Structure 1
């Protein structure tokens, strides 16, 4: 039932590590995907789904379970309840950048800054992907998913996904299980119908070198973002070893404002916006006519992991002796496979970087990709 010959995961992941799993299956339609998942779950064996393989770090030993390749594709346009907007529903296996390209070509704004991010649509909410200040949670409406525990399909609003900085309730965090074990079948976003836009975000304006508030075409934004990502080795290219990785291997650190103050002032940082719409609930039985004063707390701060790595003495292109894994020659945050590197070699380099940053700044960098059969 949709079983295929197992392929070494080194051939299917952008980091190019991983042996052939014990069993491999694939699905090209949503109905097939549901059938494959339910059948796999009935056997209660280890499993994981594989889309574009761009956010996956797989170990050298064969995975003792089933890998399910998600090959579903398709985009559907739906009416939006909001004037001047449109909704797009994409199947989980659809390529993310192809999805962004479709939106830009049709004049739908809201995804263009995330051009060039590898992977599939179904993986985007799991990771809450983002780039240059734009995140999928800004336009995400809902996902259709199937739960492992029940095998039931449901439509879940974005507000119930626990979306945070590169995380969600569906993500396998290093050292732990997801809060909800489920697989996304489709994703729906709500976009502005506009062939051009005024760029507001500081990070995106800086990336685009904008100096005024004149609206710019979506296609122009996409082209500039793709060029910027290519210059950093963040666009997949078989001929460029700098792209044989998972993009940013470590997450930018989110720290309290007091911790950020202790870092050198030249360390790039961005405030993490507080919840301005937070609601205080007072039980009616205990209400005495007074509303407690809202506590004002300093927002957390996001600091640049790439800067921390470089200032800890790890330069672009750095590698350990006799290792085939190295830091990208274009971006300090990317770990790359220079050709035939084992997962062990990549992990050794990652641990070395973590130890140097911790020794220098007291911060522990967390890996961004999902780790399967690997420990840091």
Structure 2
């Protein structure tokens, strides 16, 4: 058995014989933007879609657990030995069709490089998603979004590898049940995203601007009512990158304040009456003026969306909150839990539990984590 893997020899031998595959012993701390996580059974790097399909089929047939890893920006993984194989997607080709505005990106393509390529080529629709870390293949899994845009706005098809049949096929985006930070791929192992297809605009203008903060940075009046404002995509991209950098949301390996999983909690979507109950609690705790300013947005069918960052801050967790061990809140944004260097997975879990418990105690709202947790749980262990 190879020192770089704890896989059964026959499985390892079969994988190493595949073209466009490299096996090594890279830890999850090296593969994730949180820089937390132990050592998998093996790290298998796949430089083509065919390689991904072959590796996943071999592991599934041998009943060896695996975890698909793209940019590692949405993972919180336990320390120590992790009993699964990290299958790292390094297939990263991007095809642009300027006449039609169609973009096809392999799953391992760095997402922000995809956005940059589209903007430089004059194709609009994903400029508001600039600076989001991770890979293209991850974008439909949780329907990534920012500044009033989300991948569902432009996604047309996804190439999937079915984990049960090992068949490979393009499926329509409409089959993924895309919703706020959700698809029917999330938290399941039913399929692996191999590539995505987007339909972008060809006129060099952005998707309609829907976010007041972004409009202000661009120096334009915020859109009102049914008004549609579109703007040159290069300017929108630079404005978004500036906003994200100011919040520590553009990953920089040299800056511990960006060693995070981005927004750690999703914005709660609750019944409208629950939203008003929360507003009442805010009024009682912080006064009527603060309650009137509480972010609360329509979310369809009698639902409203609250701001997780606002609730965290008003529950007493300020930017830079010291937290536990080497895990703290970002000094720039209360929604990012960061590794200040050598933080353990337990440090991050303790901080996440602290914040979620504090918000629940203060406002009666339970925050849900956005990253995928492996070998860990945000729920407190049951008392024996």
| Residue 242, structure 1, aligned to residue 257, structure 2 | yes
Provide closer, same or farther for how the CA distance between residues 207 and 253 of structure 1 changes in structure 2, counting only shifts above 3 A. farther
| Equivalent position of 1:280 in the other structure | none
Residue 339 of structure 2, aligned match among 337, 340, 358: 337
Which structure is higher in RCO with an 8 Å CA cutoff and minimum separation 6?
1
Provide closer, same or farther for how the CA distance between residues 301 and 153 of structure 1 changes in structure 2, counting only shifts above 3 A. same
| Equivalent position of 1:326 in the other structure | 328
Query: Which SS does the other structure have where 2:355 is aligned?
Result: helix
Distance 1:197 1:351 in 2: 39
Query: Which SS does the other structure have where 2:201 is aligned?
Result: strand
- Gapped regions of structure 2 (runs ≥ 5): 1-15, 223-227, 280-290, 379-384
The count of corresponding residues between Structure 1 and Structure 2 is 341
Residue 59 of structure 1, aligned match among 56, 59, 78: 78
Residue 105 of structure 2, aligned match among 90, 101, 106: 90
Of 259-268 and 364-373, more deviation after overlay is shown by 259-268
| Residue 313, structure 1, aligned to residue 316, structure 2 | yes
| Equivalent position of 1:147 in the other structure | 162
Provide closer, same or farther for how the CA distance between residues 206 and 132 of structure 1 changes in structure 2, counting only shifts above 3 A. farther
TM-score between the two structures when normalised by the length of structure 2: 0.85
* Partners of 2:65 and 2:83 within 8 A in 1: yes
- Gapped regions of structure 1 (runs ≥ 5): 173-177, 275-296
Report the structure, 1 or 2, having the larger helix content: 2
| Residue 110, structure 1, aligned to residue 125, structure 2 | yes
For 1:125-136, what aligned pairs fall within 5 Å after superposition? 125-136=140-151
| Residue 211, structure 1, aligned to residue 221, structure 2 | yes
Distance 1:132 1:339 in 2: 30
Provide closer, same or farther for how the CA distance between residues 58 and 208 of structure 1 changes in structure 2, counting only shifts above 3 A. farther
- Residue 194 of structure 1 deviates from its aligned partner by 1.3
CA deviations on 1:76-125 (whole Å, 9 max, x unpaired) are 2348xxxx842111100001001101111111110000000000000000
For 1:250-289, what aligned pairs fall within 5 Å after superposition? 250-262=265-277, 263=279, 264-272=291-299, 274=300
- Residue 310 of structure 1 deviates from its aligned partner by 0.7
Residue 49 of structure 1, aligned match among 45, 68, 88: 68
Of 230-239 and 257-266, more deviation after overlay is shown by 257-266
CA RMSD of aligned residues (A): 1.7
| Residue 23, structure 1, aligned to residue 51, structure 2 | no
Query: Which SS does the other structure have where 2:292 is aligned?
Result: coil
Residue 353 of structure 2, aligned match among 351, 354, 362: 351
Provide closer, same or farther for how the CA distance between residues 215 and 307 of structure 1 changes in structure 2, counting only shifts above 3 A. closer
Distance 1:359 1:73 in 2: 45
Query: Which SS does the other structure have where 1:193 is aligned?
Result: coil
| Equivalent position of 1:194 in the other structure | 203
Provide closer, same or farther for how the CA distance between residues 17 and 309 of structure 1 changes in structure 2, counting only shifts above 3 A. same
* Partners of 1:133 and 1:201 within 8 A in 2: yes
Residue 32 of structure 1, aligned match among 51, 55, 58: 51
Residue 302 of structure 1, aligned match among 305, 312, 317: 305
Of 48-57 and 195-204, more deviation after overlay is shown by 195-204
TM-score between the two structures when normalised by the length of structure 1: 0.87
* Partners of 1:242 and 1:329 within 8 A in 2: yes
Provide closer, same or farther for how the CA distance between residues 310 and 209 of structure 1 changes in structure 2, counting only shifts above 3 A. farther
CA deviations on 1:186-244 (whole Å, 9 max, x unpaired) are 10000110123474413443554421777532101101110110010001112221100
* Partners of 2:329 and 2:337 within 8 A in 1: yes
Residue 116 of structure 2, aligned match among 91, 101, 108: 101
| Residue 182, structure 1, aligned to residue 197, structure 2 | no
- Residue 265 of structure 1 deviates from its aligned partner by 2.9
| Equivalent position of 1:291 in the other structure | none
| Equivalent position of 2:382 in the other structure | none
